[in-house]
Amino acid sequence: MSVSVLTIVRGRSSHLANLIAGLNRQTRLPDELVIAWMQDAPSPLPGTRFPVRSVLVPGDPMPLAAARNRAAYAAQGEQLILLDVDCIPAAGLVERYAATAEAAGVRLGDVLYLPPGGVERIDDDALDRVGVRHPAKPELAVDEIRATPSHGELWGLSFALSAADWHRAGGMDERYIGYGGEETDFAARLERAGVTMAWVGGARAYHQHHPIHIPPLQHFDAILRNARRFHATWGRWCMDYWLGQFVERGLIAIDDTALTVLRAPTPDEIDATLDATALFS
């Protein structure tokens, strides 16, 4: 079957170059890489052993859902692999995702987080030694397939599904603009459409480090807007962890039906949440 790898990009040119380097060394090359650029023009790319196609989806705040949709609609593969631009695929990722296409509708791959500092050499053994597993994610044997207890497990860093299942779920809801919520909404769409989901071992990627805000106060307005959108659609809140942190800081009040802004974070508060060493929020 044909396989398209999809990624969405704004800046992060060095991270994208490493993603491409990882794809160039796959045991089973993708049939194409589709890049949705959330900027005015594509950046220069390194050479590839597979075709690359680009679509432009500019806009502020970042049109994350729309960019993923444009990439998926432009893709020609029967199977779609969605990789975050920060992820370097291990050499067997494409082959493993393709081989497990009949095991579940959505396959979630293993991701290890790399420490601060650039990636000097793309070598799976070396990256395995320094990479750290997210404490909330399962440890998987390389040949393991484990059904997920909830579609809420969907992890946007690395997952695969058929193009048919993407369209069956209706793609992502483009009313989600800016950071947060669009992946959880897509997971609910997949569940409603009857698309199964499982974790698969052997489809590993490595997340390249970048500074993060804990909590992500720089996306305060987008997170609240998208949380309200999700609640209006599904009757429940998403991003509970971040919303809880906002409550603890006295920024919002929330109950089962309403979210109230008490005050906006100050610029100093936003700056203070930036952590240059943390691996995950």
Reported as a single tens digit per residue, the pLDDT across 159-170 is: 999 999 999 999
**Cα–Cα distance for residue pair 100/163, rounded to 1 Å:** 15
Residue 62 is part of which domain span? 3-207
Angle at 238 (CA atoms; ends 223, 109), nearest 5 degrees:
100
Regarding whether 261 and 129 lie in a shared domain, the answer is no
Regarding whether 190 and 97 lie in a shared domain, the answer is yes
Regarding whether 218 and 122 lie in a shared domain, the answer is no
Reported as a single tens digit per residue, the pLDDT across 21-71 is: 999 999 999 999 999 999 999 999 999 999 999 999 999 999 999 999 999
Which of 98, 100, 80 is closest to 147 using CA atoms? 100
Question: What is the DSSP pairing of strand 111-113 with strand 205-207?
Answer: parallel
**Cα–Cα distance for residue pair 133/147, rounded to 1 Å:** 19
Regarding whether 241 and 166 lie in a shared domain, the answer is no
Q: What is the CA 201 to chain-centroid distance, rounded?
A: 18
Say if residue 255 is exposed, middle or buried (CB neighbours under 10 Å; 0-12, 13-18, 19+).
exposed
Q: Report the domain count for the chain.
A: 2
**Cα–Cα distance for residue pair 154/108, rounded to 1 Å:** 7
Q: Which ranges of 87-198 does DSSP label H, i.e. alpha helix?
A: 93-99, 124-130, 163-169, 182-192
**Cα–Cα distance for residue pair 242/220, rounded to 1 Å:** 9
Put simply, whether the predicted model's pTM sits higher than 0.85 gets the answer yes
Regarding whether 131 and 75 lie in a shared domain, the answer is yes
Regarding whether 268 and 180 lie in a shared domain, the answer is no
Regarding whether 113 and 8 lie in a shared domain, the answer is yes
Regarding whether 85 and 139 lie in a shared domain, the answer is yes
Last residue of a domain, one of 174, 191, 207: 207
Regarding whether 234 and 193 lie in a shared domain, the answer is no
Give CB contacts under 8 A, 24+ apart, made by 226-233: 226/176, 226/177, 226/178, 226/179, 226/180, 226/181, 226/182, 227/180, 227/181, 227/259, 228/259, 229/173, 229/175, 229/176, 229/181, 229/185, 230/181, 230/184, 230/185, 231/259, 233/173, 233/185, 233/188
Last residue of a domain, one of 207, 227, 249: 207
Reported as a single tens digit per residue, the pLDDT across 236-262 is: 999 999 999 999 999 999 999 999 999
Reported as a single tens digit per residue, the pLDDT across 73-94 is: 999 999 999 999 999 999 999 9
